[in-house]
Amino acid sequence: MSSLRDEIHEQPHVLANLLDRQAQNTARIASAIRARGAHYAVIAARGTSDNAARYLQYLFGALNRIPVALATPSLFSIYRTPPWIGEALVLGVSQSGQSPDIVAVVEEARRQGALTVAITNASGSPLAQAAEHVIFLEAGPERAVAATKTYTAQLAALALLAVQLAGDEQRLDELRRVPAAVARTLALEETIAQVAQRYTYATECVVLGRGYNYATAFEIALKLKELTYIVTEPYSSADFRHGPVAIVERGFPVISVAPQGAVYQDMLALTRELAGREAELIVISDQEEVLQLARTPLRLETSLPEWLSPFTCVVPGQLLALYITLAKGYDPDHPRGLKKVTETR
């Protein structure tokens, strides 16, 4: 089929491998964070990695009560006016570890005396060399341009760090159940392969999520843009109500990411409103009430706690992007104008 499909299916193994091999390492890093007493975190990332960083904003905030800011790498690499972040925990997140602007943030943070952590799939990369600590993604080579297994591996690395920092054994047990849940979610592939043909007509789309799945909305939108070339915009359900909802009319494609959890009722209410506007609804959920509103319901067979739902919710989006790409006759492994490693300065 394709390298992309293979890598989507490798995710349960990659996640299990990371949770096993990086447990002691992340525990040591968590101890170093506690010893340093960092009260806020700054994350430098681009693209898919930036979407993983959005997940950590919720995770660190809820589990560790640590506020998280996304860095502005251009201040470090182009304007050369870096802000003071010497008292922060600074994380550089990058699959390749090659992008000079991300490396610049970590190098400057370490010069200022900050505790620095690299999360990367390349142990010998410039990013890994720049940071004081490294969490290796254990994902193996990723041949397709679009990141899939490294994205969920980043989520796992960040979740493992947050849980170790919180010292929460119950959540650690919940996290260990994620690989099996992702494996069960892959059973949606046949359904998605069948419905993908319906969406070859689409030229624009919106993806909605909130809370922990705000990151999921961004990541699904990115996969659709880079693989299918559909103009896809991600929004939180709250932001979408503040104006953008006006674009939705009959037949407008909307993907609603609405698993159980604290934001479910809000997502349900907005999805119901969009059904009233006769939007073309694709719903990713484990809840029957919202699935019944969909033209294309993508039912999650496993319900995870909300803080872990991004692992399973993103998989239908990955598969949807893959099969729409194939239905359009495009090469899912080599999107036009893109390369595997993007270096920005």
Please tell me the pTM assigned to this model. Answer: 0.95
Domains 3-176 and 185-327 share a fold: yes
Measured at the CA of 121, the angle between CA 127 and CA 165, to 5 degrees, comes to 80
pLDDT digits (tens, 9 = 90+) for 171-192: 999 999 999 999 999 999 999 9
CATH class (in words) of the domain with range 185-327: alpha beta
pLDDT digits (tens, 9 = 90+) for 47-88: 999 999 999 999 999 999 999 999 988 898 899 999 999 999
* CATH of region 3-176: 3.40.50.10490
> What are the structure tokens assigned to 320, written together?
């949807």
Band of pLDDT at residue 331, cut at 50, 70 and 90: very high
pLDDT confidence of residue 335:
83
Domain ranges within the chain, ordered by starting residue: 3-176, 185-327
Band of pLDDT at residue 342, cut at 50, 70 and 90: low
User: E strands of the chain, at which residues?
Assistant: 41-45, 68-70, 89-93, 115-120, 133-136, 204-209, 231-236, 253-257, 280-285, 296-299
pLDDT above 60: residue 339:
no
Output DSSP code: residue 308. Answer: G
